[in-house]
Each structure stands twice: as C-alpha cells, then as structure tokens.
Structure 1
Amino acid sequence: MSQRTARETGRSVQVRSLTSETTEVYALPDGQFRADIAAGVQRFRRGGDWVPVDLTLQLRRDGSVAPKAHPNDLRISGRASAGVHELAAVGRGAGRVAMGWSGVLPTPVLAGNRATYVDVRPGVDLVVAATRTGFEQFLVVKTRKAAAQVETITFPFTGPGVASAARSGNGAIVISDRAGDQTARIPAPLMWDAKRAAAAGGPAAEKPVRTQVVSNGGTVELILTPDRSWLLSASTRYPVTIDPTVDPLTTTFDTYVRESVTTDKNQEPDLQIGLLATTPATLARSFLTWDTTLLAGKQINAATVSFWNFWSDTCTPTSWEIWTAGTSTYSTTFTDQPSWDHMEARSTATFGSTNCADGWATIDGKGFFQRAATANKTRAGMGVRATDETATTGFKQFRSREGTNAAEDPKASVTYNSWPTITSRATVPATTCVTGSSRPLVNTLTPQLKATVADGDETAMTVTFEWWALDGIAAIGSVASTGVTSGSTATVTVPAGVFAEGGSYKWRVKAADGVTGSDAWSSFCEMTVYVTVPPVPGCTAGADSDFNGDGVTDIAIADPEATVNGQEKAGQIHVSYGGIGTVQTVHEGNAQVPSGAEAGDGFGTSMASYDANNDGCTDLAVGVPYEDLNGLADVGVVNVLIGTPAGLAKGPASVTHHQNVGATPDVLEAEDWFGYAVHGGRTASGEPYLLIGAPGEDLGAAVDAGLVHYLRGTVNVVLDQAVTGSTDSNETDDRFGYSVSGSAHHLAAGRPGETTPNGAAFAGAVTIYTHELVSGLPRRVKDQTGGAGYAYANFGKSISMASYRPSGAPVNQPDSFMVVGAPGDGIGGKADAGKVHRYHLTTNAATGVNGVGQGLEGLAGSAEDGDYFGERVLVVNTAPGEVSTPQTLLVAVAAPGQDLDGAADAGIVQVFGAAANPVTSSVLLRRGGGVLPGSPAGQELLGLGLGATRNHLYLGSPYGDDTVYALAWSDLAAGTTTPVRQWQPGVGGIPAATAAFGAAVS
C-alpha cells in the first residue's frame, strides 16, 4: 500500500511496518525503498507506538528518577535513607539488572541525562548518567583528602537477570541469568583525573581499576579497589572520576581502537580515526556493526553513510575510508583487530576543527551495503580509518552510538530494491531445469518455457525469456511478458520455425520490476527437442552418411529388385560401415524396419541420407513405392531408418510415413507410388526436412497428377499445382513428384509429364520453392521452368541442387544452384538425345544459365538418338560457404542410353562445373578407355545408379557388373577418373546374391 501511494502521489511514504529501533523505511515514487539506518537506538516501542529516545531525566511521582523515554526502562533511585538501595536498574522482565548502593542517598540534582548525588560520601559525588542502552555510574572524588573514601567500593547487582558473573580477558565483567544467558556487560572500570588531552578532548590518561567479582546466591558483588598510590600521587589532578558502566547486550556495536590502549572503548561517546598527536603519536581506527537484516539479498542502488564530525586536526579536507571488515567485539583492541577485507569508499569530508564548525562527514556506502546484502548478512562489520595513517592531520573524531544526542549517531541512508527472483523454472513438456548430459528430451519443436517469479516488494514485473543454441554465443529469440505479479508463473511458447529437429538448446529468464539494474539473468536450462524421434546419444557429427556416428563416412547401396525370404523384388539395402569395415543388410521385417518383405515392394527404390533428428548419426529415408497397404496395390511408404552408434536401424524404431499415418495429409490410394522419389536435407537454420514424391497420386479427375509431401519438424504438408497463386493446375500424367531435390535454401519437384500451354505433351516442368512458409506452405519462387517446351522432353525427370555462393556474394547468401534433366529433349534432329538445364536460384527468382548437351560447348562426345542425357543428374558443392568455382560446384549427368563401341545402351556419365558458363571441358566416365574397368556392355545403362557425398561420387552398375565405384570429386575436378574404392556382391561381407545392386546409392 505504501509503495502504491508513493507512486500515485509522487512523494515518499513511510512503511511503518518496517520500523525498528534503528531503522525507518520509506517507499519511493520510483518503486524503490529507502532505509534510514542508525548505528544506535533511536526509538522504541511503548504501548504499540514508536517513541523517540529521550534521556532527559525527570523526577517521578514515586520519588524515583527516570529518562523521559528509555528503550530499556532505566530507573534511578531518588532520595534514600541509610541501608542498601537499588541505585539504578535497567532491562525488562527476566533480563532486568539492578545496581545497588549502600548508604544514604541525598536528593539527586538532575541535569540532562545525569543525576548527581552530592557528597554521597565526604568529598565524593555519585553520578548516574543515562545512556542509550543502559547507564553509566561515576564516583567523582573531588579532593585528595576524599580519596580515603574510595579505597574500596562495593556495588551489589541483583534482579531476575543476575545469577552469576564472569570476567573476560580484557577485564570486562559479563553478568548472566540462571539459564546462563548473558544479560548485561560492565566494561573494565577506569579512572582518570582532570588533565585533558588537547587533541582528542578526552582524559589525558586513564587508569584501570582493580576489580573483584563475587557471586553469592543470586547476587553479584563488584568490588572496586582504585590504585591508592595513583590517587595520592602529586601528579594526579583532582577531581578524579571512577567509572563503571552497565549496558544490556545489543544487536549493534561500535568502538575504536588505539595504539597502547588495551581496554574496551565500546562505551565511549566517540569514534576515532587517524594519528593522534599524543607523545608519542598513537594511531586510532574505528569499527561499527550495522543492522542489515532489512537489506539482506537486496539490490542496493545508493547509500550514504554519515558521521557527526565534531573534531578534526585540521579544516583542510583529508581523506578517510570505510572498509568491509570482520565483526568487532568487546574484546577488540588495536593488537587484535577484525580483518580489513575490502576498501569500499574514500571521502575527504572534514569538519569540527578550531576554524570550522562541526558537521556531517559523508561517504558513499553503496559498495559496503551491497556486499553485505549479496552475502545475506544481517549484521555487517565496517572499519573506518584515515587514508594516510602517518600524519596527524588525518585525525578525526566522530560521535558514536553512545552519545547522549541520538541525532548525532552514525547513520546511513540506503536506497534499495528487492531483486525480482526466479523461484522455479520448467520446460513443458519435460522436466524442471536440467543441464548437461541429463538435459531432457522434449517431444515438440515449440516447447513452453515457464518461470515462477517473486518480488519482495510485491511489484509487478516484466519477465523476459531468451533461448540460445546450446553452443551459441548469442540468443536466437526472446519474448517478454509484462505485468506479472509476484508469485505468478510466466509462460511463453517458442515460436514455430526457431528450433530444429534434434537440436539442443538452452534458455534463461530474468524478471525486472522497473528499477534500473534489477534484472539479473538466471542460469541456463537445457533441452533437446524432437518431433520425429529422440536424438540418440553417443553420435559424433561431421562426416556425410555416417550412420553409426563414428566420424567416418559409410555407404548405403540399394538392391530394390532383390529377392528376400523368397519374395521377388522385395528389395534390400546393404550398409558398408567405413570406420569398422563391416556390412549390414537391411530389409523390411529385420532390425527396426517395420512390416515384412513382400514381392514387388521395391524397398530401396529411392534413398536419402540426412540427419532426421540432428544427433550426429546419419539417418536413411528409404522409399518403398510399391508397398501394398490395406489391400491397395502400390500405395507406397517411406521408412526413416534411425542411425545409432550400433548401426542403422539398431536402436529406436524406424519412422514410417504414408498417407494414412500420423499427420501425413491425404489418404491411401492404389498406385500412388508414395516414396518413388525422396530427398532429405537441412535448412539454413538447421532444421531437417524430407521431401517425398508420390507421382501416381490422382487428384480429382486428373490421373497421375502427382503430389509432393514436405516434412519439417511440425510442418507436414502436401504440395500440388492447384494452390493459391499457382499459374498451373493438376493435370493427368503430370506425375508431379517424380523427382525431388533441395538445398538449405530451396526445394524443387519435377513433373516430367507436364503439357505446356501450347500443347506440347510431356514437355515437363519443375516447381521451385523456398523453405519460408506462407499460409502454411513453402513459398513458390517459380511455377515452372520448361526449357524450350519441346514435346516429350521430360524436363524435370531428374533434379538436383546445392547451396551456391556466386562470386561477390556474402557468406550465407540464400542462393542455390539447380540442374534439371530433360532426357527426352532432341538436339540437332537427334530424338531423345537429352539435355540439362541450369538455374541460379535466389529468394525470388530462377535465372537460367546456358543449357548443355553432349557435343555442345565443352562437353565430350556428341548428341545421338536415345542417349537420354540428363536421365540422372547430381549436383554437389564440395566447399559450402566458399565462393563456388567449377572445381567445387560440380554436376554429374548420366546418359544411360549412350552406345559405346557397338554396345547399345552401355551408358556414360559426364562431370563438369555445374555453374561454368560456358562449359569448357568435362570428364567422361565410361567402361574402357582407361576409365572404369572392363569393356562397354549392352544395356548396362551406366549412370542409373548415382549417389554422392561432399567427398565422393558414387557410380553404380545395377544392370552391368553389379559394382559401385567411388571417385573423389577432387580427382574428377582435376581430370582424374580412377576409382578410389569399389563395392561388389560377394566381396567384403556383401552377399553374393543380388539383382540390381547399386540402383540407388546414398
């Protein structure tokens, strides 16, 4: 309520519930609080109200004397006849302690805080002075003759708080009650004469008084025996004062220490620092203990510490310091000081010398109080000292908390704020905050982040969440929630498209209450997110097609026509592990591959290696386009086999996609050929994606119009030609999805059966998209690119693309380079000679680069009927991120119908710079001629089996010698055509019985 009133009125408002004996708190209009803290007691409770301390003594109706307002209920005796009397008593209830006097007490003379009993003994006055916490008793011996009256003085102590007494090491006496709890303390009694120290203004010399303590049946007697020889010495100047002080124990403390002084100075009304001009000079330092209970754990934004400076050696400003120090006690002396831990501030404020008035010497206390608050201290030790302790000009005296005027106590004004705190955090769905290897797996790419917050000042907060990639150096997103009340839970959801499948992330949160600097970030919480399948631990990312995550490239070789368990053309895949040299055969029904091998399924007709869950082990999408489901023929499925350290499909169950499972759109239909083409990759933001072609899909009356499925995290959509903004429509025999490809920035799908607007049947087309979603679908860049639009060119029968950085482009420019095969294109009257078309893709355009065919530009050979150049194309960027060159951005183009040396349809592959314009040369891969082993064979159709990593081109011969050859791209770029490795049935653990070994390679 106080804070609200302060904000509304623009004025500070006292928070009365936080008032204590030493502290008052005010709510400030800016949402902060100010604590005015005194070192000594300023007020106390009386009848439910706070009453200022007033030590002015007054006579009570019962004849006793008492201060107007004393925190420990001090009572002093009035006039009393002979006998033992209660001279003064202090404390309440079980802690009350009374000091007695034996003998007549005259009516006391009252002056301020002092009651003087004149000539209580001949020549001796008895004085009782009220202090802030207790009382001080003086015997003033006025003449040398009167010294005989004080040779021995006995003070009895009685009351509920008195059971025993003990002497401490420095001569002080501690009184305890029956429970053993300390109730009061009497510093070592001292006496001094009338000589004064010019510099400090106090006694020139003090003399300890010999004491004896006797405990007897609940009474304690303090027996003082002043040094008789000192009292009678001619050098002693009268009057002489003998001074025992009684103080109940308190929670705050101050004292000073000085060289050669061995007694406790806690009861003194001053604090001293610097070099005092005694003979010899003696160094003084001071210590205070502040009550910082209210500030523990708080944000300190400003603090000023003030000392009433009533004496300085000079009016010239001289430097002095405050330190964070250890805790001072009654036993603190110059030779046994607390530790001096941190110098917090310096000041040159100087007052109180001969030519300058007394005044408040102030110093910045922010560092001191923040250090105490951060350490959650309820009591904070402060040391005060002169900066230069070798010059007497630095000597100063400040009022201590024992002075009679509470307004001159050391004080501090501290502006603070309760830190908004995060009391709990959670990731939903999953667990509480966890880091390290036990970070949770979260089955969503849009998790909720929750934080419960609190503010000790009950201020509404702004709670800000931010999330980072696990190894990131900056946040990749943030959201702030405003008006969150203390004790409430703020919740945000990470937006779609930010987190990638299998990615590991960390997040943190902070709460701010409007006070500058109040918001401190929490530590990080971590998580790994997935939709497809949880990431598998133990994988090492870095190598292409590394199915077991050992850092070495593996290879998957498909034989989609293999007989499995007696089922002809069921299909299987052979995985050769490059790091361990073993071979694993995978088919439907073994390992973690669902379903069972059936005749004609064609398991492995298409394959795509990509890391579906971003765990570092490559996964393998396998197209089974002729799978029968629910009695429907050739429906098709795609199985994503999960890579693990044990190998492919040896851990989590494979993920199955078809048109009647999970969130995959559409329904099962015969002859859809779902999975005829597949492509997997990763977007520029690190999200795995999968393209699946279903070229046999009927759409309305359009038979074999075709569909493409696009899966990326939670995105699972179908692409066809009839969406809003398209210039085309779904038509019979388009076979959209016959080919698919993608890069980090783009994706494309071919429809080789497309009829052009001018009626050219099967001319073909390709649709290009970016990964950006518009109305939930990938944004189209261009509807179709059909070359010259020749009938039966089958433009789009094959597609391949890679990320591309043209000369002069910055790093990470979102461009791609695409090559499209048109194997039915005619060249120079040669039917089906084939041609490939090349495109530079940007975010909004597809710019054509010269199309090429055999015998054109720098390509080897010549165009011939039935070459089908472009039946397969494969683009690779061996140096992604760098400026692309003809040696790093390469394309392999197959012409499986090429006749060689009289062998019909022997087939060849040409390799050249994908973006070279013009193409000046190519590398020809063929049988014979010193290239591949053996001689050209009829109907080998070399080039139908193409695959690649960034390091190697794989060339399969499924209808020839059943060998898969690996050729290094770097060798090919240099014109070398020697294979660096080969795989054959019956060799190296690969089964001998095969049918179309190498029809697909990944």
Structure 2
Amino acid sequence: MSVAVLEGSETAFATPAHFASSAVTTARRGATQAADVPSARVAARLSGKRVEALSERTETSTTWVNPNGSLTTEVAAGPVRFRRGGKWVDVDLDLAARTDGTIAPAAHPRGLVLGGKGGSRPASLKAAGTAAARTLVTLGQGQEQVELQWKGGLPAPVLEGPRATYRDAVPGADVVVEATRTGFEQYVTIKQRPAAGGYAYTMPLKAKGLKAKQQADGSVVFSDARTGKRRAVMPAPVMWDARVDPVSGEHTHRAKVALKVVQHGADIDLVFTPDAGFLADAGTAYPVTVDPSTTALSNVFDTYVQQGETVDWSADTELDLGNPGTKNADGTPRTARSFITWNTAPFSDALVSKATLSLWNFHSGNTDCKAYPWEVWDTGKPTTASRWTSQPAWNQKFATSTATTGNPGCSTQPDGWITADVTNLAQTWASAKNATSNMGLRASDETTSAAWKRVNSANAASNPPKLVVTYNYRPRTGTDRQAGPPFFKDSTGTWYTNTTTPTLRDTFADPNNDKVQGFFQIADNATGTQVGSNLSSAFVPAGQPASVTVPSGLL
C-alpha cells in the first residue's frame, strides 16, 4: 500500500504566546488597530470586531483581520495615504496658504506646492511673453521634481477645496491649478474672445533629475535621467468651451491645443497655441478652458478611451463608460470605455470569499431614471498610449451590475457609489499570483445614451475607485509525511509499520497561523486504487503534526 496526504484545511485561530498578551490588551481597550496580522487576529477574535493590521498598510491598501480569522483588504485605484516624517498621513487635497506665501494641499503624496502672490501682472498676453518667469507649480521632491512656471506676476489666488484660481493673471484670462491625487491640472480660462492675431502663451519648465521628451501624440513624458524609468506624464492639452451637453454632462465642443517643446539646455519652454479658428468661431461660447495636466506614474493606473479621441486621458479626474449620445464630426458615436490597474499583491494566492468593486458615479445618462447595466472584464494592461483604436485586450467578462446613480434629474439617484460583485475575477487574479491586475469597464449596451456613466478616477480629490476583497490563505501542502509505529524510514524513503491500524501523520504550515486539519488517503500500490474513504485528522495548531489512525479492517 502507499499513503498520500491529500491536503490541509484550516480554521481560526492559533494564539502564540509571544503576541497573545499584547493582543489581549488591545482587544480589552476596544482598539480597532494592531501592530501586525497575528496581533490583529487575536484582538479581532476577542473583541468580535475587525481590527486593522498596521503592518499591511500601503499607499493604496488597508487590511483588516475579521473575527472569524479571514482578512479583508480595501484597495484604492489611487493613493489614499503616504509616508511623511515616518508616519502614514491621509491624502488631503484642500489648499491653504503657508507662512512663506506659497500654497499647498494639507497632504499631497507627491509634495505639490503652488506659487503665491507676487510680481507685476502683464498688461497683455503679448507682454507676458517677455515677462520674468516665476514658479506656478512644483511636483515631486529632490532629484525628481517638475517645476512649471508662469511668465508674469500672479495675484493672490482664490482657494476653493483643491482648486486655486489666479483671477486675471493676464487681462481676460484666469490661471487655475487644481490638485489631484497623483499630480495637478493646470487650466487657463479665456473669458473673452481674443483680438485678431491669435492667442499663445509660454510656460517655462524645469525638471530636476528628469528628462522631458515630447511624444508623437503631443504628450510630454518625464523620465529619470539616469535610469530612463518613466516618472510622470503631461498628456497632450485640449480645450473646450462653456457649453455642456445635458445628457452626457460633457463639454462636447472641443479642439486640440498645439504644444511645442523648446529645449534651452537644461530648461524647457512649453509653448501652448490654442486653435485660432475655435477661438474666433462665432459659435464658441466663452469662457474657453485650455487644459494641460501632469500626473505622476506608478504601478497602479487608470484611464479611459473614447471613440474619436486621440489624446491620453490618464491624468483626468474621471472615468467614462458607454455612449454619451453625442457624435464625432464623421458621425461615429463617442463611445467610451475605462481601464484600471489594481495592486493585487495583498491577496495573491489567497482563497477569495467575497470581492466588491465600488465606483463613485456622479453623472449618468438615464433620463428615464431607470437602472442600466454595465460590465466588468479582465483585460490587458492599459498605458498612456491606450486609445479607442488601440485598446488593451478584453479577455473575459466577469460581472454585470445595474447599479446607477448620478442623474441630476432623478431625485432617487443622487451622486453615490455603484458596486459590482467581482469575487470570481478577484479569485482569478489571486490564483494567478498577480502583483498587479487589470480591469475593464464598459456599458452592456453601447448603442443607447441611457447607459452612459461618469465615475471618479484615481486622480479625483475624493472617492477614488476601490476594491474590497475578503480572503484567507491556503494552508501549505504537508512537508513531513510519516507512517508508524515504529515510524522508521529506510534509505529509500519507505516507511515501515508493524500494525494494520497504523498512525498516519504530517505537518502543515499556514500563512495565517490558523489551526489546520489534515486529510489522508490510502491507495493500493500496485493498482493505484483508493482503499476506503479519506481520513481526516482533528484540528491542530499550524506547524504541529496532524494525525489519523487507520480504522481496523481497512488493511
């Protein structure tokens, strides 16, 4: 006969003495946090409430241990906290003036700082071209810092949440800077039709330790000058007028903005030239907004693609999906789809019991106030080069949801979270042991504007996309299979016993330090046929032998 160990199963909990005492103290105090997973496991069991394991915190994820011993990790699509002074600080993009006169968010993961009041404002846009430059925005620190400048003086900005408005920085135009989670958006709002002769402005750029290179699509990529690793991107700028489509909620009257990168040694000039025909068109409704944005790049990422659009939208504060009901000049619909790359390392190789995707839906096209379905897919990896004509692969659909909010005409559907059950998708990623995984979002029906949705992206000041996953780790396969008594093994690895009711045992490790149960199987060595049923051990602490006794008469 041969004996094989089938598997180990688990239950909670093990309570090693080295952390049990501190965990008991934590539970008695009613704390919701503990230093690490083992401590949180004991505290959760004793308190009956979930307890956060502080050792598992990252910029984008938070992990709790539940009373039943399982883990729950909430992963955000963008940073929700960062390290400052050796401590975790929650992202807070509300702007405030500092004692040195500059403006900064309360807590920005990339150290965003805006310029304050100073200098003399130019009398005209033409005069601004020869004015001295001063710092408007800095992003990053040390040798990886991008500094965007403005030619001419700046008034004291009007601050509103994450937005700073420098009113009439030049006659007839405001300069606006808005903090995002990964960078900033910088607008020039042209409030009146420019005089004949066109409209252009130059913004000097300094990039410490970074090399700036313009791409074929008009965007500018900032790479580490030493390693070549991409650190940040400024998508090709666009412009739009004041009109808003009532169904889509979009500024549909848009045009490209020419961007020229002029190198001056280590310094760079960004020359923006809004489309003169667009500005002069009698149908253009003022104010007109010119929008260049800059965002830091990381392992997590999101973007959307839209039919008819040829620029990168990864720096935008929203993700779009569905048919907005508007058309391109050639009559094709402006259908959009979105993509998110998640940090899935926290639950890699785990057993997922529940996973929920949540998106903050602030606008929908369902004027009839009915709910319309949307889908969640496993996709290929999106990049700043993703476009409607070059989308990541759509591998498999895993979920459909009808959750809908955000229609301004529906009192029963105010802005709010929409969710989808993505348990099977999360398990697929976990089984593949992915450190990062990619998701696609699209409307089930891309022919009707009723299914159109706009949701917050990872760059949004609040409520970025999130994924909440509850899971447990598999116990490991046994590593010390034995049969006895007398528990003797010869040089060939064969175990010997002198009884027909032997004891079978093995030792199982478990990443959660849960108690484990071993399952054993006996097979005929000649035929491979199983003899009798599987035999199960009692639950034992992980790392200690689990054993069964073969019942009389079986052998």
User: Normalising by the residue count of structure 1, what TM-score does the alignment of the two structures yield?
Assistant: 0.47
8 Å CA contact 2:519, 2:536 repeated in 1 = yes
Match of 1:375 among 432, 455, 464: 432
Code of the aligned partner of 1:419 = R
Secondary structure in 2 matching 1:389: coil
Secondary structure in 1 matching 2:63: strand
Distance 1:223 1:430 in 2: 79
Distance 2:185 2:446 in 1: 32
Match of 2:511 in 1: 456
Code of the aligned partner of 1:268 = D
Match of 1:342 among 396, 411, 420: 396
Unaligned residue ranges in structure 2 (runs of 5+): 1-38, 121-131
Match of 2:194 in 1: 145
Match of 1:255 in 2: 303
- What displacement does 1:396 show? 1.7
Work out whether 1:19 is the aligned partner of 2:57: yes
Code of the aligned partner of 1:26 = W
Deviation digits for residues 317-350 of structure 1, max 9, x if unmatched?
2221111111111111111111111211111112
Distance 1:206 1:222 in 2: 21
Per chain length, whose mean CA-contact separation is higher, i.e. which structure has more relative contact order (CA < 8 Å, sep 6+)? 2
Work out whether 1:64 is the aligned partner of 2:112: no
Secondary structure in 2 matching 1:275: coil
Distance 2:272 2:385 in 1: 21
Work out whether 1:476 is the aligned partner of 2:532: yes
- What displacement does 1:389 show? 2.1
Deviation digits for residues 834-863 of structure 1, max 9, x if unmatched?
xxxxxxxxxxxxxxxxxxxxxxxxxxxxxx
Match of 1:774 in 2: none
Work out whether 1:117 is the aligned partner of 2:166: yes
8 Å CA contact 1:452, 1:488 repeated in 2 = yes
Match of 2:6 in 1: none
Match of 2:313 in 1: 265
8 Å CA contact 1:124, 1:146 repeated in 2 = no
Secondary structure in 1 matching 2:42: helix
Worse-superposed segment, 94-103 or 301-310: 94-103
Instruction: Describe how 1:332-481 pairs up with structure 2 within 5 A.
Output: 332-353=386-407, 354-355=409-410, 356-405=413-462, 408-422=463-477, 424-426=479-481, 442=495, 444=497, 451-470=506-525, 471=527, 474-476=530-532, 478-481=534-537
Distance 1:494 1:194, change over 3 A: same
Deviation digits for residues 82-115 of structure 1, max 9, x if unmatched?
6222211111222222112221122212121111
Distance 1:107 1:375, change over 3 A: same
Deviation digits for residues 935-981 of structure 1, max 9, x if unmatched?
xxxxxxxxxxxxxxxxxxxxxxxxxxxxxxxxxxxxxxxxxxxxxxx
Distance 1:475 1:156, change over 3 A: farther
Percent identical among aligned pairs is 38
Instruction: Describe how 1:633-644 pairs up with structure 2 within 5 A.
Output: none
Code of the aligned partner of 1:168 = Q
- What displacement does 1:149 show? 7.7
- What displacement does 1:489 show? 5.0
Deviation digits for residues 634-680 of structure 1, max 9, x if unmatched?
xxxxxxxxxxxxxxxxxxxxxxxxxxxxxxxxxxxxxxxxxxxxxxx
Q: How many residues align?
A: 489
Distance 1:171 1:266 in 2: 14
Work out whether 1:108 is the aligned partner of 2:157: yes
Match of 2:278 in 1: 230
Distance 1:148 1:18, change over 3 A: farther
8 Å CA contact 2:134, 2:150 repeated in 1 = yes
Work out whether 1:158 is the aligned partner of 2:196: no
8 Å CA contact 2:476, 2:508 repeated in 1 = yes
| RMSD of Structure 2 on Structure 1 (CA) | 2.5
Distance 2:417 2:164 in 1: 30
Match of 1:4 among 22, 42, 45: 42
Distance 2:480 2:135 in 1: 63
User: Normalising by the residue count of structure 2, what TM-score does the alignment of the two structures yield?
Assistant: 0.82
Match of 1:184 in 2: 232
Code of the aligned partner of 2:403 = A
Distance 1:416 1:102, change over 3 A: same
- What displacement does 1:425 show? 4.9
Match of 2:341 in 1: 289
Instruction: Describe how 1:825-904 pairs up with structure 2 within 5 A.
Output: none
Secondary structure in 2 matching 1:231: helix
Deviation digits for residues 859-906 of structure 1, max 9, x if unmatched?
xxxxxxxxxxxxxxxxxxxxxxxxxxxxxxxxxxxxxxxxxxxxxxxx
Match of 2:215 in 1: 168
Match of 1:299 in 2: 351
Distance 1:200 1:490 in 2: 62
Distance 2:541 2:417 in 1: 41
Work out whether 1:327 is the aligned partner of 2:381: yes
Distance 2:241 2:461 in 1: 22
- What displacement does 1:65 show? 0.3
Deviation digits for residues 111-158 of structure 1, max 9, x if unmatched?
21111112222212111111111111111111112686842x222222
Code of the aligned partner of 1:383 = G
8 Å CA contact 2:539, 2:546 repeated in 1 = no
Secondary structure in 2 matching 1:357: coil
8 Å CA contact 1:445, 1:496 repeated in 2 = no
- What displacement does 1:251 show? 2.4
Larger radius of gyration, structure 1 or 2? 1
- What displacement does 1:194 show? 1.4
Distance 2:364 2:225 in 1: 46
Unaligned residue ranges in structure 1 (runs of 5+): 433-438, 500-1002
8 Å CA contact 2:481, 2:504 repeated in 1 = yes
Code of the aligned partner of 2:357 = V
Distance 2:472 2:373 in 1: 30
